[in-house]
Structure 1
Amino acid sequence: MIACADLTRTRDGQRVRLGGLVLMRQRPGTAKGVMFMTIEDESGVANLIFWKDRIEAQRPIVIGAGMIGVTGILQREGEVLHVIAKEVEDLTPLLATVGQSVAVKGQAENDRAIAVKARDFR
């Protein structure tokens, strides 16, 4: 998976895989069954387009997921970037782990904690 911010360095027509929290879904009546979705990761946002056939094929995920992974094709129109969704995966169960710290054991022989002085501004 790439970060949403990395889309700016990706060429038009390239296949990409990214994921994030669903910020909004729009399905305008004038869009002929197309859905627009915005997702966000820690680096930024990405705009997704779901054609009608993709919505129907994976409706529960497209309509209900709080966090998704999507594979699609990057489409550039000037400075505007969209990902045309081809496959979508429900990552909502992973929401429970977002923000949790992960302990990583160091590789050094004399691995020890480092005391960091900080100020409490409350």
Structure 2
Amino acid sequence: MFVTVEDEHGDANLVVYADIGRRDRAALVGARLLIAEGRVEREDRHAEVPILHLICRRLIDRTELLEQLGAVDGTAEGWARLLARADEVRRPEPGSRRDAAQAATRMQRSRAFR
């Protein structure tokens, strides 16, 4: 199975062999945040566009980390230390920002393709 991932630097293919796919199926089809460990193969000498493959040996579901985005110790002082002088964040324009907990509940669930 191939899983294509993309970031600001380009595309990469996660190569997931059948035995890894069966073993780590829950992470493969259910994770919203996925860690893929493996061996990198890169071909850029004979290719117009560099080709990058990660031959996966392990897939880990770390979706629970998404809930911690924006979490602080829960106190006003914690936010003050984190934000320092970021006035645009402390006093955003009305309607320009959602609460982190509300944003997390609105995230789309991943879909299992069969």
Task: Give unmatched runs, 5+ long, in structure 1.
Answer: 1-34, 107-112
Aligned twin of 1:80 = 51
Structure 1 residues 53 and 89, CA, compared in 2 at 3 Å: closer, same or farther?
same
Match of 1:95 among 48, 54, 66: 66
SS across alignment from 1:66: coil
SS across alignment from 1:60: helix
Match of 1:64 among 12, 30, 47: 30
> TM-score under structure 2 normalisation?
0.52
**Quick one: which amino acid aligns to residue 95 of structure 1?**
L
Structure 1 residues 74 and 63, CA, compared in 2 at 3 Å: closer, same or farther?
same
Task: Give unmatched runs, 5+ long, in structure 2.
Answer: 45-49, 73-78, 97-114
Q: Deviations over 1:49-82 (max 9, x none)?
A: 1011110111111122111111100011221001
Match of 2:4 among 38, 41, 44: 38
Cα shift at 1:44: 5.8
Q: Deviations over 1:13-63 (max 9, x none)?
A: xxxxxxxxxxxxxxxxxxxxxx11133567665321101111011111112
**Quick one: which amino acid aligns to residue 82 of structure 1?**
H
Whole-angstrom CA distance in 2 between matches of 1:47 and 1:54 = 15
> TM-score under structure 1 normalisation?
0.49
SS across alignment from 1:83: strand
1:4-19 equivalence runs, <5 A: none
State the aligned residue count: 79
